[in-house]
Amino acid sequence: MLEIRQLNKNYGSHRALTDLDLVVPEAEIFGLLGPNGAGKTTLIRIINQIIEQDSGEVILDGQQLSGEAIRKIGYLPEERGLYKKMGVWDQLIYFSRIKGLNAAEAKLRVNYWLEKFEISSWKNKKIEDLSKGMAQKIQFIATVIHSPRVLILDEPFSGFDPVNAAILKNEILELKQGGTTILLSTHRMESVELLCDQVAMIHKSKKILDGSIREIKSRFRPMEIRASLQHLNQELPPTWKIEASEDGKVDLLIPLNGQSPNQLLHELMAFGEVISFQERFPSMEEIFIQQVNASAHA
Partner 1 sequence: MHKVFLVIQREYLARVKKKSFLVATLLTPLIFPAIMAIFVWIAVEEKENQSLRVIEVVDETGLFFMESSNQYAFSTSVKNLEEAKALVNKGERYGALYIPKMELSAPEGIQFYGLENPSTALVGYLEVSLKRKIEDQKLYTKGIDPKVLKEIRTEVTVQALTLGDAGEEKVTDATVNYALGFLSGILIYLFIFIYGNQIMQGVIEEKSTRIVEILVSSLRPFQLMMGKIVGIGAVGLTQFLIWVLLVGTLSSLVMGVLGMQMPQQQAMEMANPELMAATPDTGELGAILQVIDGIDFVSLVAAFVFYFLGGYLLYGALFAAVGAAVDSPSDAQQFMLPITIPLLIGYMGLFVFVLQDPSSSTSFWLSIIPLTSPIAMMGRISYGVPFWELALSMGLLVLGFFGTTWLAAKIYRIGILMHGTKPSYKTIWKWVKSTN
Q: How many residues does the chain have?
A: 298
Asked if 83 interacts with partner 1 (CB under 8 A), we say yes
Distance, in Å, from the CA atom of 24 to the CA atom of 276, rounded to the nearest integer, reads 38
The 3-class secondary structure across 102-148, one letter per residue, is CHHHHHHHHHHHHHHCCCHHHCCCEHHHCCHHHHHHHHHHHHHCCCC
* C-alpha gyration radius of the chain: 24
Distance, in Å, from the CA atom of 4 to the CA atom of 207, rounded to the nearest integer, reads 12
Region class of 6: left (phi > 0), else alpha (psi between -120 and 50), else beta: left
Q: Which of 28, 78, 193, 251 binds partner 1 (CB under 8 A)?
A: 78
Question: Considering CB under 8 A, how many residues would be counted as binding partner 1?
Answer: 29
Segment near partner 1 (CB under 8 A); pick from 23-31, 73-81, 167-175, 253-261: 73-81
Minimum CB–partner distance for residue 282 and partner 1 (Å): 33
Asked if 253 interacts with partner 1 (CB under 8 A), we say no
Asked if 37 interacts with partner 1 (CB under 8 A), we say no
Q: Which of 26, 84, 174, 273 binds partner 1 (CB under 8 A)?
A: 84
Q: Which of 17, 22, 38, 80 binds partner 1 (CB under 8 A)?
A: 80
Q: Which of 30, 75, 140, 288 binds partner 1 (CB under 8 A)?
A: 75
Asked if 105 interacts with partner 1 (CB under 8 A), we say no
The tally of CA atoms less than 13 A away on the side-chain side of residue 103 is 0
List contacts with partner 1 (CB under 8 A): 45, 48-52, 54, 70, 73, 75, 77-86, 90, 94-95, 97-100, 142-143
